[in-house]
Amino acid sequence: MASNENDVKEILAVHHSWLDSNNDLVKEKMYPNFANPGYLQFNLNGHEYNGPDEKAKLWDGLHEIGFNLSQMKIVEEPKVYAEGDLAYLTTYWSALVTGNTGTGVLEPDPEPLVFRVTEVYRRDDGKGNPEWKIWHFHASPIAGKDTPRFPQDA
């Protein structure tokens, strides 16, 4: 954990604000959490998005096809590691996913999607102001229960 409790509180506030903006994909809530310019996301969909404006276009497109993330929740409490003006956070999120599955029918997935998250923070809003912002976000799926792990655990 980071040694400066105030930094950790500020970083967690940004993290929770970002998490909340994912519920129903609310762009106005999303923007204030990211460095602009400078932000880069490796999205769970496998693509990268450069800057909040590009991410906003992604969210517009998702709205058009009826895709929605709802009830975004933290599965594991975030761990924050900070030193000076740089920090990173790791956690696991879950969400119910609704979207066009190719059938033309919009139905929620009965099982929540669980994925791991890494966020990189700098005390810089992208314009040189000393505010904690997310500079990089990475989401990836967790391995399935039947997926072998190498090397095998003894």
Longest CA span, the chain = 51
CATH of the domain at 79: 3.10.450.50
Q: Hey, what are 70's tokens?
A: 């709802």
Amino acid at 35: A
In a domain, 76, yes or no: yes
Length of the chain: 154
Q: What percent of the chain has pLDDT over 70?
A: 89
Q: Determine, yes or no, domain membership for 71.
A: yes
3-state secondary structure of 45: coil
Check whether 32 has a pLDDT greater than 90. Answer: yes
Q: Domain of 118?
A: 5-141
Q: What share of the chain is helix, strand, coil (3-state, %, to 5)?
A: 25, 40, 35
User: Is 92 within 8 Å of 44 (Cβ atoms)?
Assistant: no
* Total domains, the chain: 1
Q: What residues are paired with 80 via a beta bridge?
A: 89
- In tens, the pLDDT along 54-107 reads 999 999 998 888 887 777 888 999 999 999 999 999 999 988 877 655 545 455
In this structure, is residue 153 part of a structural domain? no
Q: Are 138 and 42 in contact (CB under 8 A)?
A: yes
What spatial distance separates the first Cα and last Cα of the chain, rounded to whole Å?
29
Rounded to whole angstroms, how far apart are CA atoms 52 and 26?
A: 12
Residue 70: per-residue pLDDT: 75
Mean pLDDT of 22-39: 95
Q: Based on the number of CB atoms within 10 Å of its own CB, is 137 exposed (0-12), middle (13-18) or buried (19 or more)?
A: buried
Read off the pTM.
0.87
The reported pLDDT for the residue numbered 2 is 41
